[in-house]
Each structure stands twice: as structure tokens, then as C-alpha cells.
């Protein structure tokens, strides 16, 4: 009962308990598209470097992370800069859809098993706020099934995240 009251008190009766969606600003469409173009250019350069290195017998890994991390027991965040290029890419190409995976750490999952889905819903709402239609977004409630880091008794920040996958049909 005490845990429930603590969760309710931290939530303040709002849907998102750490950052209210209304405090998240809509980003201008031209800025989102510019972000998308910039990241695409960097990705192309990185892939060219990888191919050149491969010709010389070297192997390099090219990763572009697209995760958003959350504070423990929070289902929202204001740290959204890393997804602007994703939104911009979807604005540019109307055929692209996105899959959003909500994750939580093992400690959070015991207290609030819906937290990972709430995180994915928050991100969906940010995409919608920036002009992406709801029917282009799929939510996956991954809970604790996709850990990046070790499962510890205090939880693990890298497991408190949402990550994204583009779907091109």
C-alpha cells in the first residue's frame, strides 16, 4: 500500500510523472528535416569509411544509437534531441513507419509493470505532437525482456529506455 501511495504521489495525478507532455515543445518541421538530412549525411560518410577500411582489411563498426533513456520510475523525459532526426525522416518519407520499444529495469518492472508501455506511449505522443500520424507508429511493450546492461538489485539505467526501429513497407 505504501509503495502505491509513493507512486501516486510522484505521479501527481498526471499521465506522465516526470515531464508533462504539454511542456514538450513542438519542433519546427524544417529543423526536424534538417536534423534528418545531417544525420543521413554523417551515416553515409561513416558507411563509406567502413567500406574503405574493409578494402584495407580493417573492420570498423558503425552504430547510430537511437535510444532515449529515462530516470528511474519516470515514464517521460525532456531529453529528446536524439530522436529529432527520426521524426524528420518520417516527415520526409510518408511511407516510413516506426516501431517504439518501451523498456524498464527489473526493479521498476516489479513496482509498475506498465511503465515500459507508458514510456513507449509518451514517445508516440511526442511523435504525434510533431506531426506524425498515429497509424504510422507501432508500440511494443518489451518490459525487461531486452536488457542492454546487467540486471541488478538497484536497476540499470541502460535498461530504462525506449528504442526505435524503422519499418519500410
Q: What is the pLDDT of residue 65?
A: 63
Identify the band that residue 24 occupies on the pLDDT scale cut at 50, 70 and 90: very high
Sketch out the chain's domains with CATH numbers. 2-168 (3.30.1330.60)
Q: Which helix (H) or strand (E) holds 47?
A: helix 29-55
Q: What is the largest distance, in Å, between two alpha-carbon atoms of the chain?
A: 63
DSSP string, 61-73: ------EEE--TT
Look up the pTM and report it. 0.81
> Which phi and psi angles does 13 have, rounded to 5°?
80, 5
Query: Is the distance from CB of 109 to CB of 143 less than 8 angstroms?
Result: yes
pLDDT tens-digit series, residues 57-88: 877 665 566 789 999 899 999 999 999 999 99
Amino acid at each position: 500500500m505504501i509503495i502505491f501511495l509513493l507512486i501516486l504521489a510522484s505521479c501527481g495525478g498526471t499521465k506522465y510523472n516526470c515531464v508533462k507532455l504539454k511542456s514538450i515543445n513542438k519542433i519546427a518541421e524544417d529543423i526536424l528535416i534538417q536534423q534528418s538530412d545531417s544525420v543521413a549525411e554523417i551515416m553515409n560518410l561513416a558507411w563509406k569509411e567502413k567500406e574503405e577500411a574493409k578494402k584495407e582489411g580493417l573492420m570498423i563498426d558503425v552504430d547510430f544509437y537511437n535510444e532515449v533513456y529515462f530516470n528511474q520510475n519516470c515514464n517521460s523525459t525532456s531529453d529528446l534531441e536524439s530522436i529529432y532526426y527520426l521524426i524528420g525522416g518520417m516527415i520526409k518519407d510518408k511511407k516510413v513507419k516506426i516501431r517504439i520499444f518501451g523498456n524498464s529495469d527489473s526493479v521498476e518492472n516489479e513496482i509498475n509493470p506498465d511503465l515500459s508501455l507508458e514510456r513507449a506511449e509518451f514517445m508516440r505522443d511526442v511523435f504525434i505532437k510533431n506531426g506524425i500520424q498515429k497509424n504510422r507508429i507501432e508500440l511494443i511493450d518489451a518490459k525487461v525482456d531486452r536488457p542492454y546492461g546487467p540486471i541488478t538489485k538497484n536497476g540499470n539505467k541502460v535498461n530504462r529506455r525506449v528504442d526505435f526501429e524503422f519499418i519500410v513497407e
